[in-house]
Amino acid sequence: MVRLNRIYTKTGDQGLTGLADGSRISKAHPRAVAIGDVDEANSAIGVALLHVHGATERAMLRAIQNELFDLGADLATPGEDFTPTDMALRVVQPQIDRLEAEIDAMNVELEPLRSFILPGGGAGAAHLHLARTIVRKAERSAVSAAAEVRLNPLALVYLNRLSDHLFVLARYVARAEGGDVLWQPGATRG
C-alpha cells in the first residue's frame, strides 16, 4: 500500500526526480518525460470520464487509469528483467490482451470506417479523442526513452494498443452523441 504523508519533499527542487530504485535522473531525461506523458494521458482520461456515461465504458476507463499508474511505475523501474515481482510493477501481456478483446467487442457494433474521423462526435467522444492523442504522445516519449535506456517492451505495446482502444471507444461513445464526424478531403477548397 502506498502511503504519502508529505506532498512536497523539496527533493526535486534541483531539477531531479527519483526512480523506483532510489536513483535520481533529470526531470528532462527521456524516461522522466515518458512518465510525465503517461501521467498526462491518465489525467485526460479522468476528464473524459466526466463526459462518458455508460457503465461498461466507464469501467473500461477506470481499469485503464489504474493500469496507467502501473505503467508509470514500470517506466520508473530501471532494470533488465521485466518480470513482475512484489517490488516491481510491470505491464504484462494479459493487460494488452484485455484491451484487444475490448476493441474487438466494440468494433462488432460499429460501422466500418468510410473515411478518417475528425475528433468530435459529442463531448465524451471528443475527450476520448484528446486522450488518444495524449497517449500517442506518451508512446512517442516512451519510444524515445527506450532508445536510451532499457524499458519493458510490453509497456510500449500497451501504449500503442491503448491509443487504438481509445479511438474505437471514442467511435463507440459517439454513436449515442450523434455519430462519427467524417473527414471530407478538400471540402473547403471551393
DSSP assignments along 25-58, one per residue: EETTSHHHHHHHHHHHHHHHHHHHHTT---HHHH
Q: Does domain 23-77+92-106+118-175 have CATH number 3.40.50.720?
A: no
pLDDT tens per residue across span 148-180: 999 999 999 999 999 999 999 999 999 988 888
Give the pLDDT confidence score for residue 6 in this predicted structure. 62
Contact 44, 127 (CB under 8 A): yes
Q: What is the mean pLDDT of residues 175-189?
A: 87
Give the pLDDT confidence score for residue 94 in this predicted structure. 97
Which run of H or of E encompasses 97?
Answer: helix 93-108
User: pTM for the complete prediction?
Assistant: 0.91
